[in-house]
Amino acid sequence: MSLVRLGALGVGSFFCVAVLWGAVQPRDAVVPDPVKALYKHPHAIEWVHNGAGNLGITGTFDRKQLQRGFQVYKEVCSACHSINRVAFRDLADLGFTAPEIKAIAASYEVPSIDDKTGEPATRKGTPADKFPLVYPNEIAARAAQNGALPPDLSLIVKAREGGTNYIHSLINGYADAPASWTVPDGLYYNPYFKSLNIAMPPPLAADDQITYVDGTKSTREQYAKDIAVFLTWTAEPKLEARKETGLAAVIFLLIMTGLGYLSYKKVWADVKRKSA
Amino acid sequence: MSFPWAKQYQPTTEIGKFFDKQLPLPRFVYGALGAGYPTPKNLNYFYNFGVLAGVALVIQIITGVVLGMHYAANTTVAFDSVEHIMRDVNGGWMLRYMHAVGASFFFGVVYVHIFRGLYYGSYKPPREVLWMLGLVIFLLMMATAFMGYVLVWGQMSFWGATVITGLFSAIPVVGSYIQTLLLGGFSPDNATLNRFFSLHYLLPFVIFGVIILHVWALHIPGSNNPTGIAVKTEADTVPFHPYYTAKDFFGLGVYLTLFAAVVFFAPNALGEVDNYIPANPLSTPAHIVPEWYFWPFYAILRAFTVDFFFIPAKLMGVLAMFAAILLLFFLPWLDTSPVRSNSYRPLNRILFWVFVVVALVLGVAGGKPAEEPWVRLSQVFTAYYFAHFLIIIPLVSRFEKTKPLPRSISEAVLAKYGNSAPGVAAQPAE
Amino acid sequence: MATETRPLDAQLPVEGERRRDFLYVATASVAAVGAGAVVWPLINQMNPSADVLALASIDLDLSAVQPGQAVKVSWRGKPVFARHLTPEEIASANKVDVASLRDPQSLADRTKPGNAQWLITLGVCTHLGCVPLGAGEGEVRGDFGGYFCPCHGSHYDTAARVRKGPAPKNLEVPAYVFKTPTSVTIG
């Protein structure tokens, strides 16, 4: 068995020397990353209606805000971005009624097959359909968008660091590039975008670009908030149910744990008494 | 097996007697987890984590089987089927979050369980096989968790699969053939996804089987305890049921409460945002990291940055990562101190806490991009990791002066309550 | 059993023992409720998901179906037969004494007023779920000129009522409405 320890000594020294040999190598001078210097982290926004919102225990969405966000999506974003994981029927969560959902669905053309010729065709959407893709595939998207790919927005809030705040900051984050930074032709400077150069032109350029049906003051700040919250919902449509269930589960488990603790103390009472 | 004073199962009903004769399963359970298993009476809360790990596995198996009813292992629809679970399946979001968060909790619990074993010397004789079976479970868990993460078929799934199978390409001569064999192609694709699904479904049941062996091996010598000294008389023990079933139930309540809090209020806190982007073989995420429970080993893998004589850095990293786990199999023979518990090993106790810090720093470093100071930090701490187990521990156990041991568990318990000092000749409590 | 454990418990004051029992029972009950609450989502996940429920209705264009012909379409993953009855078929269906049938229903019960020539039923035999023959061009229509299920030999008449064989019920009529005289929404 002392052979094991001898072998261990050998193996241990081998790995130690090998890794420390790397540690003592001189490092290349660190070239400061200009992107890192200019990149800005998204700032937190207040977007909650009642409760404490995304991070709260019982936060709920503001239905009016979700509907406004949907309006922003429909009038602006949907020109290039799909929300293909969302079905029209899901809009019931936003407070739309069944006839309203039918009308919204019917205003979209979804891919289908001509039942006489079998050729690809389109038909009016139904509540069961999902929001159609804007471009049939990536190649078509890039061809139409000067080489850029507008991502599907269904999951964008969960797929980006900062989530809701990121969308809000990015939408209104366009700025003039500092002198040290050159923006290639056809791209725009946005310090909240990971590479700083974004292909999307400023989507919400001016106040009063959208006329809100609910009469909310039409400002760029409001657009950015509303679309960010709407996309939070598309990414996590079960958020409210999750928190509701969670609160009940945690309260129940606390009661069960409390009873469990008392039972545990009772069971052990005589052993502890004997020991003490 | 077990102690002479262990209570024997007594079937009282006719049905009970009938089954006891033909299939004595109740007798088996009674002896394993019931009143028939005498357990040291001084186990602390760290001894809850074995049962918690078992529960965590059961949660994974149940939610996993249910998710398998909706998941489709095909690269064209895998990601969509996960989102289908999240959006359309009744309560699917809850089941999926339980499974994803459950994996993290499983590892968290197992890490505490392992460190508890390290602190109290549970790997020492007569429990070497028990310790090694535990390590086998740990290895199987790592494989299972890795393959499960790939099933989502998001960006991190795809590139994780690429990087981890790429480890095998470091093996001289046959490496790239092995990688191709594992993937069933030249990059992760449908063949990879299907075999990972198959194995991800199988391995938890293998783990379950090894757990049965692990519990079997536990019941031969009986549980270790915070003093590390052996059970001597009946006064040292209490029956597992109701004493430890009650304690484990309470511990389980605490665990489930924390679990529910994360599942329902921060289910994505432990995940990576990139995995909500469908896999794209043409674009790598800026920063590929595995799940947090692999970070210490990932740090060791990346710590080897220069070739060591004729051995390429890549191969060194892979060798070191596997060695970092495999060396634990030899621990019972590296640590020769006759004293198990660190409560009576002043020097080794300090080294234990140093090692905890080292492991945590390696964990943090493994989650960071490969930049300074993290690279150099993980190099120094990787060196310590190997030195700790392979050089320091064998030496310490030879030269350390240990504290006197209490004569029995009962005496130690009495000392704790202030009636007696350890090492003083006290009558065994009776 | 109870008498065997008595000696241990007997040393305790009776009062404390009772409080203990209550605590244990309460803890076990709460745990049992919790286990039950966990089982429900595990079962409920097997129910049809939201996207499946949403596909519950389809539109069908009947303009090209001539008298005597039928079309077969898929609704909720099951075939639906839409049959354009000829006047003779209607007459033969109405001739039958409803009371004599295994599942007594008149043709009028099974069609919409004003559209009695359109017989719309599920194409699922009520015996064990095979698809009966008779909707396609040239298929056998059984002894009563309606549908015939080849699996176990159930015969349906021109109102798709079971007349012979093991089937217990007439072919089911789904919920549907005529949007125009030749277009119908099923479901």
Other chains touching A, judged by 3 or more CB pairs under 8 Å: B, C
Nearest-angstrom CA–CA distance, B302 and B389 = 20
- A144 & A242 share domain: no
Given a cut of 90, whether residue C180 has pLDDT beyond it is no
Nearest-angstrom CA–CA distance, B341 and C174 = 74
Which is nearest to B239 in space by CA: A119, C125, A106, A270? A270
Query: pLDDT band for position C19 (50/70/90)?
Result: low
**Under DSSP, is residue B420 helix (H, G, I), strand (E, B) or coil?**
coil
In contact, A55 and A47? CB cutoff 8 Å: no
Given a cut of 90, whether residue A74 has pLDDT beyond it is yes
Of B93, B249, B413, nearest to A242 by CB-CB distance is B93
pLDDT in tens, C87-143: 998 998 898 888 889 999 988 889 988 888 899 999 999 999 999 998 888 888 888
- A160 & A44 share domain: yes
Amino acid at A233: W
Predicted TM-score (pTM) of this structure: 0.90
Is B44 within the bounds of a domain? yes
Query: pLDDT band for position B339 (50/70/90)?
Result: very high
Given a cut of 70, whether residue A223 has pLDDT beyond it is yes
- A154 & A257 share domain: no
Query: What domain range includes position B162?
Result: 37-278+287-413
Given a cut of 70, whether residue C9 has pLDDT beyond it is no
- A158 & A246 share domain: no
**Under DSSP, is residue A149 helix (H, G, I), strand (E, B) or coil?**
coil
Strands (E), A201-268: none
Min mean pLDDT across B414-428, C126-140, C154-168 is at: B414-428
Amino acid at C139: E
Given a cut of 90, whether residue B121 has pLDDT beyond it is yes
- A151 & A207 share domain: yes
Nearest-angstrom CA–CA distance, B300 and B327 = 14
Instruction: Give the model's pLDDT for residue A35.
Output: 84
Most confident of B121-135, C13-27, C104-118: B121-135
Read off the tokens for A264: 């545990």
Is A258 within the bounds of a domain? yes
Given a cut of 60, whether residue B426 has pLDDT beyond it is no
Strands (E), B7-161: 38-40
The residue with greater pLDDT, A22 or A1, is: A22
Nearest-angstrom CA–CA distance, A227 and A171 = 9
Instruction: Give the model's pLDDT for residue A51.
Output: 40
Contact B90 C44 (CB under 8 A): yes
Instruction: Give the model's pLDDT for residue C15.
Output: 57
Contact B389 A160 (CB under 8 A): no
Instruction: Give the model's pLDDT for residue C74.
Output: 85
Q: Among A102, A262, A274, which would you mutate to test the C interface (most chain C Cβ atoms within 10 Å of its Cβ)?
A: A262
Per DSSP, A86 falls in state -
Residue with tokens 């052979």: A3
Given a cut of 80, whether residue B429 has pLDDT beyond it is no
Four-residue CA torsion sign, B73, B75, B76, B78: positive
In contact, A151 and A81? CB cutoff 8 Å: yes
Which is nearest to B105 in space by CA: B274, B275, B289, B293? B293
Contact C54 A128 (CB under 8 A): yes
Contact A259 C54 (CB under 8 A): no
C152 is catalytic: yes
Q: How many domains, chain B? A: 1
Residues 6 or more apart whose CB falls under 8 angstroms from that of B370 comprise B302
Q: How many domains, chain A? A: 2
**Under DSSP, is residue B114 helix (H, G, I), strand (E, B) or coil?**
helix
Instruction: Give the model's pLDDT for residue A46.
Output: 67
Instruction: Give the model's pLDDT for residue B430.
Output: 33
Is A92 within the bounds of a domain? no
Contact A250 B252 (CB under 8 A): no
- A140 & A211 share domain: yes
Is A21 within the bounds of a domain? no
pLDDT in tens, C48-89: 898 888 877 777 888 888 888 888 888 888 899 999 999 998
Contacts of A252 in chain C (CB under 8 A): 30, 34, 37
Instruction: Give the model's pLDDT for residue B428.
Output: 39
pLDDT in tens, B359-417: 999 999 999 988 888 999 999 999 999 999 999 999 998 889 999 999 999 888 887 76
Is B31 within the bounds of a domain? no
**Under DSSP, is residue B201 helix (H, G, I), strand (E, B) or coil?**
helix
Is A122 within the bounds of a domain? no
Query: pLDDT band for position A29 (50/70/90)?
Result: confident
Given a cut of 80, whether residue A45 has pLDDT beyond it is no
Of B12, B90, B249, nearest to C45 by CB-CB distance is B90
Is A256 within the bounds of a domain? yes
Instruction: Give the model's pLDDT for residue C187.
Output: 78
Catalytic, out of B81, B104, B223, B408 = B223
pLDDT in tens, B275-301: 999 999 999 998 889 999 999 999 999
The residue with greater pLDDT, B205 or B397, is: B205
Query: pLDDT band for position A48 (50/70/90)?
Result: low
Cβ-based neighbour number of residue B343 at 10 Å:
20
Instruction: Give the model's pLDDT for residue C75.
Output: 86
Instruction: Give the model's pLDDT for residue B416.
Output: 75
Residue with tokens 């389809």: C58
Per DSSP, B278 falls in state B
**A251/chain B closest Cα distance in angstroms:** 9
Q: Please give the radius of gyration of chain C, using alpha carbons only, rounded to the nearest integer.
A: 29
Instruction: Give the model's pLDDT for residue C18.
Output: 64
Average pLDDT value for residue range A125-140: 92
Instruction: Give the model's pLDDT for residue B421.
Output: 45
Contact B91 C4 (CB under 8 A): no
Is A93 within the bounds of a domain? no
Average pLDDT over chain A reads 88
Given a cut of 80, whether residue B314 has pLDDT beyond it is yes
3-state DSSP of chain C: CHHHHHHHHHCCCHHHHHHHHHHHHHHHHHHHHHHHHHHHHHHHCCCCCHHHHHCCCEEEECCCCCCCCEEEEEECCEEEEEEECCHHHHHHHHHCCHHHCCCCCCCHHHCCCCCCCEEEEECCCCCCCCCCECCCCCCCCCCCEEEEECCCCEEEECCCCEEECCCCCCCCCCCEEEEECCEEEEC
Residues 6 or more apart whose CB falls under 8 angstroms from that of C138 comprise none
- A181 & A261 share domain: no
Is A152 within the bounds of a domain? yes
Query: pLDDT band for position C1 (50/70/90)?
Result: very low
Q: Among C21, C49, C51, C52, which would you mutate to test the B interface (most chain B Cβ atoms within 10 Å of its Cβ)?
A: C49
Share of chain B above pLDDT 90, in %: 84
**A82/chain C closest Cα distance in angstroms:** 19
Is B7 within the bounds of a domain? no
Instruction: Give the model's pLDDT for residue B293.
Output: 96
Q: Is A82 left (phi over 0), alpha (psi -120 to 50) or beta?
A: beta
Looking at the DSSP assignment, which residues form a beta bridge with residue C77? none
- A55 & A146 share domain: yes
Instruction: Give the model's pLDDT for residue A180.
Output: 87
Instruction: Give the model's pLDDT for residue C65.
Output: 87
pLDDT in tens, B13-59: 999 999 999 999 999 999 988 999 999 999 999 999 999 999 999 99
Nearest-Cα residue of chain C relative to residue B66? C42
The answer, for B394 touching chain A at a CB cutoff of 8 Å, is yes
Query: pLDDT band for position C17 (50/70/90)?
Result: low
pLDDT in tens, B59-97: 999 999 999 999 999 999 999 999 999 999 999 999 999
Instruction: Give the model's pLDDT for residue A275.
Output: 62
B20 is catalytic: no
Is B427 within the bounds of a domain? no
Is A101 within the bounds of a domain? no
Instruction: Give the model's pLDDT for residue A253.
Output: 97
- A262 & A226 share domain: no
Given a cut of 80, whether residue B423 has pLDDT beyond it is no
**B236/chain C closest Cα distance in angstroms:** 18
Query: What domain range includes position A57?
Result: 34-86+131-237
Domain containing residue A201: CATH number: 1.10.760.10
Is B120 within the bounds of a domain? yes
**A128/chain C closest Cα distance in angstroms:** 5
- A215 & A251 share domain: no
- A271 & A226 share domain: no
Query: pLDDT band for position B137 (50/70/90)?
Result: very high
Instruction: Give the model's pLDDT for residue A117.
Output: 87
Contacts of A89 in chain C (CB under 8 A): 50, 54
Instruction: Give the model's pLDDT for residue A37.
Output: 83
**B326/chain A closest Cα distance in angstroms:** 12
Amino acid at B241: H
Given a cut of 60, whether residue A164 has pLDDT beyond it is yes
For chain A, helix, strand, coil in percent to 5 are: 45, 5, 45
Of C20, C27, C61, nearest to A259 by CB-CB distance is C27
Given a cut of 50, whether residue C7 has pLDDT beyond it is no
Min mean pLDDT across A89-98, B119-128, C54-63 is at: C54-63
Instruction: Give the model's pLDDT for residue C5.
Output: 42
| Residue B401 φ then ψ, to 5° | -100, 115
Domain containing residue B393: CATH number: 1.20.810.10
- A204 & A152 share domain: yes
Average pLDDT value for residue range C165-169: 92
The residue with greater pLDDT, A28 or B263, is: B263
